[in-house]
Amino acid sequence: MPYVTDAHPLIWHFTQDPRLSPKALGIFRSSAAGREIIIVPTIVLGEILHVSEAGRTPVSFQDVLSRIEKGDNYEIAALGLDVLKAASEIQVGLEMHDRFITATAKVLGLPLITKDKEITAAGIVEVVW
C-alpha cells in the first residue's frame, strides 16, 4: 500500500532519528525493500528546503532530493488544482502546509505518515504513526 509522508517522518527516516515511531520506521524500511511506495507531496519538499536552509535539520535539501530521485520507492505528488480544491474544503484550524499535505492524502485516498497532533485530531485522513 502506498503512503503519503509528512516532512518530519521523512527527515527522521533519512537521519535515523529515534523520534520516528516503530510503525512508521517499518513502513519506510518496507519501502526501501521495494514493498511499499512513499508519496512525497511537493509542499513537503518545500518545507524540507525551508528547514534545511534555516539550519534546523541535519540533512540537506539536496541530500533528501537525491535520495528520493535515486529511490524507486518514492513518488512526488504535485500540488495541483485537485489538491488545492480539497485543501479549500478543510475547515479545521490546520496551518497552510498541513492543509496541503492532508489534502494530498485525501485526494489520493491514502494514509498519511505523520506525528502532527492537529492533523490527527482533525480526522480527515487515516494517520499512521
What residue spans define the domains of the chain?
3-121
- Cα–Cα distance, 81 to 124 (Å, whole number): 19
| CATH code, residues 3-121 | 3.40.50.1010
Total residues found in the chain within this entry:
129
Distance, in Å, from the CA atom of 11 to the CA atom of 8, rounded to the nearest integer, reads 5
One-letter amino acid identity for 31?
S
- Which three three-digit cell numbers place residue 71? 529511490
Single pTM value for the model: 0.95
pLDDT of the chain, 129 residues: tens digit per residue: 899 999 999 999 999 999 999 999 999 999 999 999 999 999 999 999 999 999 999 999 999 999 999 988 999 999 999 999 999 999 898 999 999 999 999 999 999 999 999 999 999 999 999
